[in-house]
Structures are given as C-alpha cells and as structure tokens.
Amino acid sequence: MSASLLVELFTEELPPKALKQLGEAFAHRLQDGLIRAQLKERDTGNTRIYATPRRLAALIQDVQSKAADRIESKKLMPSKVAFGADGKPSAALVKRLEKEGATADQLERRSEGDAEYAFLTQTIPGTHTRGRPAACAGGSARQAADPENDELPTRRRCDHGAIRAPGARPARAPWRDIVDVSVLGLKAGRVTHGHRFQGTKDIPVAAADAYEEALAAHGQVIASFDARRAETENLLRAKAAELGASLGPKTMSPRCWMK
C-alpha cells in the first residue's frame, strides 16, 4: 500500500539567494533516502518541492507503508571450522551465530571452488514507514541546517528553545504525515503555519496532498518557489503594462528589470 508523504521544516528567515537550492536539496535527499530504503521504487518525477522564506517542504508520492522482506545469505566460515567431527556447531560458529542473532537451523553448507562453507540465510524484514522515513527526514533537516552546507551563502550557528542546533536559521517545527517522529529535537505534528501577518497562524492539515491548498487558502502562502516566482512576475508585468512601462525581456535578470 502506498500513499503520499509530506515533510515540512518550519524555520526562521532563510537566505533568499539559497532558498531554491535548499528546497531542492532537502527534497532530493529525502526522496533518495526513501528509494534506498526500498520504500519508494524510483524517482518518478512527481515529487513536489516547496520552499518559502520560512519553510522547506517536500510532498513525495507513492511511498510504501512497508518495504518488502528480503532474503539475505551470508558466508560465515569454512565448514571445517564451523563444525566438529560429529557435525555439531563448533564454539567459533556458536559465537558467530550469537553475534548475528541467528540459530543453527538457519545454516546451510555450500561448496565454493574446492572448499565447503557455512552460510547463514535469513529473512530480513522490510523497513516500516514509521522507521526509515523518520531517519531520512532527520538527515535531510540536519543537512539543510548544517553550517558546512555548500548550498548556504553564509554560515552561522543558532538556537531554538533549549536546543542548540547548527544551521542557517533556527528550526522551529517539522511536520510529518502521520509519522510519530522528532527531528532536531522537535516533535512532529499536523499543524503548519501561515504568513505571519496576512494568514492564519496555525493551520491543521488533514492529509499530505492537502498541504499546498491549505497554505494558499488559509495561510496566504504560495508554497512552491517556482509558482510564487511566476506569480510575482505576472503581477509585475501586469502593473508595468497598466503604467505603459516594461520590465524588459524575460531573459533579463530581476536586477536588470528594476533599473
């Protein structure tokens, strides 16, 4: 069974010049972690990336609730070392099985070349959504907050509450889709926050896929960096046309438009 997964890291003001890169890095690291954990099959190109001056977020679709179990076979030692003359496990093998958390009935003998070896065959349970995505989210959040992060134009340390965390800005509250997890020492929940002056402060989000719409409707926030940029350009061009002016061709930088 698969579903959409939303992760939001709510922050203080982020560096404007690095905002787009930070949002992309946050989402891509999270998605890559889920793929490695076999909780998402591949990059299907339908991940939604959100980045505003006070948040980084990603909506990743088709995340499995649990990865498939897998069979793992591991070569332990030569059979002549693993078993005594009576065929019973040797002390060396017993110690190795204790280390692996396995039992003798999971062993099999197989020949490789001119020698026979003892192999341990185990069924490894698939990762559950409540485990690995939490770790992926934490890693992405910590990376985004890392003072050595190359995506940041400036580096500094900052505080939030009783926790001292390295980062571009203090992380205030991450939001997860029904996953009980703490990231950067902060508890996840169902509430996101709107624009500090124009929107509703606390906005409950019923489902991951409702995040963007809820922020726009109640928070007066366009969560997508690209959509917000496009809307800003449209408003500027409409006003310029009303005044009989021009912002210049689209190939020009915003700095040139303002000259």
Q: Looking at per-residue confidence, does 225 or 127 come out higher?
A: 225
3-state secondary structure of 96: helix
pLDDT tens digits for range 4-32: 888 888 888 888 888 898 899 888 888 88
The runs of H, that is alpha helices, within 85-163 are: 91-100, 132-144
What residue numbers bound the domain in which 248 lies? 231-257
Q: Is residue 171 exposed (0-12), middle (13-18) or buried (19+ Cβ within 10 Å)?
A: buried
Instruction: Tell me: do 43 and 134 sit in the same domain.
Output: yes
Where do the DSSP E strands lie in the chain?
2-11, 48-52, 55-64, 70-78, 107-112, 115-124, 157-160, 163-166, 171-176, 182-183, 186-187, 191-193, 202-204
- Asked if residue 216 lies in contact with residue 223, where contact means CB atoms within 8 angstroms, the answer is yes
Unique residue bearing structure tokens 């390295």: 166
- 216 and 250 both lie in a single domain: no
Which DSSP letter does residue 208 get? Answer: G
pLDDT surpassing 60 at residue 251: no
The position carrying tokens 């890392």 is 146
Same structural domain, 24 and 76: no
Does 169 lie in the same domain as 61?
A: yes
In 64-86, which positions are buried (b, 16+ CB within 10 angstroms) versus exposed (e)? Answer: bebbeeeeeeeebeebeebbeee
Q: How many CB atoms lie within 10 A of CB 20?
A: 15
Residues 111 and 42 in one domain: no
Q: What is the pLDDT of residues 153-181, one digit of tens each?
A: 544 444 433 333 444 445 545 545 456 66
The whole-number pLDDT of residue 36 equals 82
Same domain for 47 and 153, yes or no, is yes
Same domain, 152 and 202: yes
Give the CATH number for residue 202.
3.30.70
Are residue 14 and residue 112 in the same domain, yes or no?
no
Report pTM.
Answer: 0.66
Tell me the average pLDDT of the chain: 78
On whether both 79 and 54 belong to a single domain, the answer is no
- Asked whether residue 115 falls in the same domain as residue 189, the answer is no
How many domains does the structure of the chain reveal? 3
- 241, pLDDT greater than 60: yes
| Same domain membership, residue 98 and residue 41 | no
